[in-house]
Amino acid sequence: QVIKCKAAVMWEANKPFSIEEVEVAPPKAHEVRIKILATGICRSDDHVVTGALVMPFPIILGHEAAGVVESVGEGVTSIKPGDKVIPLFVPQCGECSNCLNTKSNLCSKNDIGSGTGLMPDGTTRFTCKGKAIHHFIGTSTFTEYTVVHEFAVAKIDSAAPLEKVCLIGCGFSTGYGAAVQTAKVEQGSTCAVFGLGGVGLSVVMGCKAAGASRIIAVDINSDKFAKAKELGATDCVNPKDFKKPIHEVLIEMTGGHGVDYSFEVIGRTETMTAALACCQYNYGVSVIVGVPPAAQKITVDPMLLFTGRSWKGSVFGGWKSKDSVPKLVDDYMKKKFVLDPLITHTLPFTKINEGFDLLRTGK
């Protein structure tokens, strides 16, 4: 059966979301149709609105969510109707070279780099006003019902509170994993985190869980410092308070050494370069967590890397999604980490534009 439901459609860039009635086709072979019960708002969705992340329009955005399986297509064995699930914007097919390698997590079936906005078979499951609507990175969660491929969904504990664990679909896992998986922060180390949104705060939590002795939080919005400290930041720095470049401030704060690990969780080329420059010149590791803006290039002095620093990227915190998401939900249920401080507002779905206004104003 085709389901008619509400969705937030983005018809063109730099316009508000439009709440529309859409038709959601039944799942084809190896696909799953999910009733979305909670979805988070992430800066990566906004990057599509502004054109910093290039995707085809019209589109249904959203990629951080949790819901209940409504129906499954032919050949789906791992998941059944009624299961609680989290859609995965980084899939795990289990067959490609990245899935088979222990060092990698970015399954080759992902739609992040190519940005086709279609299901793996090259078609879409959404229509609105007679027009085909694109999917977003294989998830599209700003809708009451969505269809995802079986390799892009994880079954989770049926007792998990969906309005909280939806954050494990992106924000929390991305930040926490960047610290514990990608950087492999060590006990007693010094870390700097640029950007204190939900993902940046999750990096702070990851650094703390890994035993970092000093966690320097950097943001141009000082209103974010109280929460950063609550979650483990030892120092908070606002670059606007200094005349000199922020990397010099951080090197001075660490007695001339620089930090052991730095994380850029904003998605700006200037802060990516600053994060690299502030880490220890021989063994420092800098991790890019924020989505880089389209059509921008970085110019960097190669001496920064020649002396031994490592520059890394991290997508979805380095987790193999289908394996790790259920375990992260279990860890949350065992109170190994908190999610409540990351939830600032809870709004009805129809107020999605207000939600994005809150994101854009740093609230």
Q: Which two three-digit tokens encode residue 20?
A: 């529309």
DSSP 282: T
- Residue 295 confidence (pLDDT) above 90: no
Pick from 321, 163, 329, 183: nearest CA to 263: 183
For residue 254, the model assigns a pLDDT of: 98
Contacts of 156 (CB under 8 A, 6+ apart): 66, 84, 85, 86, 165, 325, 326, 329
Predicted pLDDT of residue 37: 98
Angle at 216 between CA 211 and CA 221, to 5 degrees: 135
Domain 183-313 top-level CATH class = alpha beta
Query: What are the start and end residues of each CATH 3.90.180.10 domain in the chain?
Result: 3-170+318-361
Nearest to 218 by CA among 278, 304, 299, 292: 278
Whether 176 and 337 have beta carbons less than 8 Å apart is answered as yes
Q: Given pLDDT bands bounded at 50, 70 and 90, which one contains residue 293?
A: confident
Over residues 342-363, the mean pLDDT reads 96
pLDDT (tens digit per residue) in 22-80? 999 999 999 999 999 999 999 999 999 999 899 999 999 999 999 999 999 999 999 99
Q: Is 90 exceeded by the pLDDT of residue 294?
A: no
Q: What is the pLDDT of residues 29-42, one digit of tens each?
A: 999 999 999 999 99
The reported pTM is: 0.96
Residues of the chain with CATH 3.40.50.720: 183-313
CA gap 23, 3 in Å, rounded: 6
Is the model's pLDDT at 324 over the cut of 90?
yes
Using CB atoms within 10 A of its CB, is residue 102 exposed (0-12), middle (13-18) or buried (19+)?
exposed
The string of pLDDT tens digits covering residues 87-98 is: 999 999 999 999
Model confidence at 301: pLDDT above 90:
yes
Burial-class residue 313 by CB neighbours within 10 Å (0-12, 13-18, 19+).
middle
Instruction: Using pLDDT thresholds of 50, 70 and 90, give the confidence band for residue 180.
Output: very high
Per-residue pLDDT tens for 116-158?
999 999 999 999 999 999 999 999 999 999 999 999 999 999 9
Return the active site residues: 42, 44, 47, 63, 170
The pLDDT score that the predictor gives to residue 11 is: 98
36 strand-pairing partners: 67
Alpha-carbon gap, residue 84 to 222, rounded angstroms:
38
CATH of 3-170+318-361, one of 2.40.400.10, 3.40.50.1110, 2.40.10.10, 3.90.180.10: 3.90.180.10
